[in-house]
Amino acid sequence: MESCHWKPNWSETREHLMGWWEQKDFVIGKWGGVPAQAPRTLSLPRPPELRDEAYFLGGAARAEQDLHDMASQAFPGDIVPVTDPVLGPGSLHLHLGGEARFKTGESVWFEPAFAGIEDVEDIPELTFTGEDPAWVATEAWYRRMLDIYDENFFLGVPDLCAGLDILASLRDPNLIMLDLLEEPEWVQASLEAIDTAYLEIYNRIQKLVDPEGTRGMGSRSFYIWGPGRTAKVQCDSSVMISEDMFREFVQPGLRRVFRDMDRTLFHLDGTDAIRHVDALLEIEELDVIEWTPEAGKPGGADPCWHDMYRKILEAGKSLQIVYLTPDEVLPLFNAIGHNGIYVMPEFRNVAQVEDLMRATDPLRN
């Protein structure tokens, strides 16, 4: 896609993103847009405010609300203008028999569906039917948004997740740890079924938003975009397993998903997950590792993470770094280099973004 109406400098940002995937450039982005100095006026009236479950499963009405939210934002620098019908991290859970409690502006709690089943052989087959309320709402959101968004921004893929995180949320995090030891064959078969469902849903979404394969695909969860099929995945459950178990139960699923994608990012969450970096670097199809330090730990620019960053870059993978201030970006680049790095500083306004873009521009090739 060569233009994006609500982002006048899209062609420049597109080149930065393309270079970042290939370790040839860097990206200055952010979690979402910044407040627009002059919010756009829409011909479509803003609908009544939806909240809680009515928002998350609001379908077409929610699409109209989200359009107005996007219209109130500016996307300077390399901020990617992307949105999707977010249902919370790991929403594949809802498409495979799980339920959730929704609270606007706070969190989504996924409820285990199979915690009360003692024998795993009695657990229903994990199959995506396309009939669950969450998918019906998701599809309605896309269809309505396609009618009204006028290609002013990008429509991304929800933070579905896959693999062990979804199985843990359906089964119960404690029980699945026992299943890894006592029922490994069932676990492997279930993981494969989950990944199959993930790819089927991804395919359905791509057919809706990019049927010709010309706009590229993105994700609101980490504000990424790439040409072709682009995916963000994770395995937060990995903090509870060893390196050997990661290679046995997580690596195969990551490869299954990544082989079907053009651009891939893995969200590495928390210091207890760092021990799996070597196993991630073994996956040839993985392009980027995003690092999120947990609460109470130093932010993303802190020197304590620099050796890990260098290791990832030297292995040929790019990085996404979050939780840092604009003032920390240049010192970070001076310490570890800049090509192959996507930083997400905590910008408050357009001027801060533009100032950092000017300061870093001389670094570009």
Q: What is the pLDDT of residues 223-254, one digit of tens each?
A: 999 999 999 999 999 999 999 999 999 999 99
- 3-class DSSP state of 298: coil
- Taking residues 24-52, report their average pLDDT: 93
Are 304 and 298 a contacting pair, CB within 8 Å?
Answer: yes
Three-state secondary-structure class, residue 174:
helix
Residue 179 has pLDDT above 70, yes or no: yes
Tens of pLDDT, residue by residue over 60-117, are 999 999 999 999 999 999 999 999 999 999 999 999 999 999 887 667 899 999 999 9
- CB of 77 within 8 A of CB of 357? yes
pLDDT cut 90: percent of the chain above it = 94
Return the closest-CA partner of residue 123 out of 171, 191, 168: 171
Of the pLDDT bands very low, low, confident and very high (cuts 50, 70, 90), residue 2 is: low
Residue 8 near residue 74, CB atoms below 8 Å: no
Residue 48 DSSP symbol: P
Q: 106-126 burial, b if ≥16 CB within 10 A, otherwise e?
A: eebebebbbeeeeebeebeeb
| DSSP output for 132-171 | SHHHHHHHHHHHHHHHHSTTSSEE-------HHHHHHHHH
Helix (H) or strand (E) holding 254: helix 251-258
Q: Which has the closest alpha carbon to 288: 253, 313, 260?
A: 313
Enter the pTM of the model.
0.96
Q: What is the tens place of the pLDDT at every residue in 183-223?
A: 999 999 999 999 999 999 999 999 999 999 889 999 999 99
What are the structural domains, with CATH classification, of the chain?
10-363 (3.20.20.210)
- State the Cα–Cα distance between residues 128 and 146, nearest whole angstrom: 24
Q: What whole-number distance in Å separates Cα of residue 220 and Cα of residue 222?
A: 6
Instruction: Please tell me the distance from the alpha carbon of residue 205 to that of residue 221, in angstroms, as a whole number.
Output: 16
Name the region of 79 (left: φ>0; alpha: ψ -120 to 50; beta: rest): beta
Q: Which of 272, 270, 269, 264 is nearest to 243 (CA)?
A: 272
Question: Phi, psi (5° rounding) for residue 36?
Answer: -70, 135
Give burial (CB, 10 Å; 0-12/13-18/19+) of 52: middle
Among candidates 78, 68, 256, which has minimal Cα distance to 164? 256
Which residue would you say has higher pLDDT here, 335 or 4? 335
The predicted pLDDT at position 103 comes to: 82
DSSP 72: T
* Euclidean distance between CA atoms 162 and 253, whole angstroms: 8
Mean pLDDT score, 136-155:
97
Identify whether the C-beta of residue 221 lies closer than 8 Å to the C-beta of residue 31: no
Q: Do 54 and 4 touch, CB atoms closer than 8 A? A: no
Q: Are 132 and 206 in contact (CB under 8 A)?
A: no
Q: Rounded mean pLDDT of the chain?
A: 96
